[in-house]
Amino acid sequence: MSVQTPKRSLTLRDLQEMRGRDEPIAGLTAYDATQARLVDESGADFVLVGDSLGMVVLGHDTTIPVTLEDMIHHTRAVSRGVGRALLMADMPFMSYTGVDQAVHTAARLMQEGGARMVKLEGDAQQVDVVQALAGHGIPVCAHLGLRPQSVHKLGGYRVQGRGEAAAERMLSDALALQGAGADLLLLECVPAPLAGRIRAQSDIPVIGIGAGSDCDGQVLVYHDILGITPHSPRFSRNFLAGAGSIQAALAAYVAAVKGREFPAAEHAFSA
Ligand code: KIV
188 is catalytic: yes
The model's confidence at residue 199, banded by pLDDT at 50, 70 and 90, is very high
Note whether 214 and 196 are within 8 A (CB): yes
Note whether 46 and 220 are within 8 A (CB): no
Cβ–ligand 1 contact at 90 (below 6 Å): yes
What percent of the chain clears pLDDT 70, i.e. is strictly above it?
Answer: 97
Q: Nearest-CA neighbor of 174 among 137, 138, 147?
A: 147
- Looking at residue 74, what is its pLDDT? 98
Cβ–ligand 1 contact at 77 (below 6 Å): no
Whose CA is closest to atom 1 on ligand 1? 50
pLDDT tops 70 at residue 2: no
Distance (Å) of CA 160 to CA 31, 150, 211, 263: 27, 12, 10, 18
- Looking at residue 231, what is its pLDDT? 86
- Looking at residue 7, what is its pLDDT? 67
Whose CA is closest to atom 2 on ligand 1? 50
Nearest atom within ligand 1 for CA of residue 50 = 1
Long-range contacts of 246-249 (CB under 8 A, 24+ apart): 246/38, 247/38, 247/41, 247/42, 249/225
The model's confidence at residue 109, banded by pLDDT at 50, 70 and 90, is very high
pLDDT tops 70 at residue 196: yes
Cβ–ligand 1 contact at 121 (below 6 Å): no
Name the pTM for this structure. 0.96
The model's confidence at residue 12, banded by pLDDT at 50, 70 and 90, is very high
DSSP 88-130: EEEPPTTS-SSHHHHHHHHHHHHHTT--SEEEEE-SGGGHHHH
The number of helices, as runs of H, and strands, as runs of E, in the chain is: 11, 8
CA 241 / ligand 1 centre spacing (Å): 22
Give dist(CA 154, CA 83) in Å, integer. 37
Given the residues 17, 121, 168, 188, the one annotated as active site:
188
Spell out the alpha helix ranges (H) of 112-235: 127-135, 151-154, 164-180, 192-201, 222-225
CA 50 / ligand 1 centre spacing (Å): 5
pLDDT tops 90 at residue 124: yes
**Helix pair 68-81, 99-111: axis angle to 10 deg:** 30
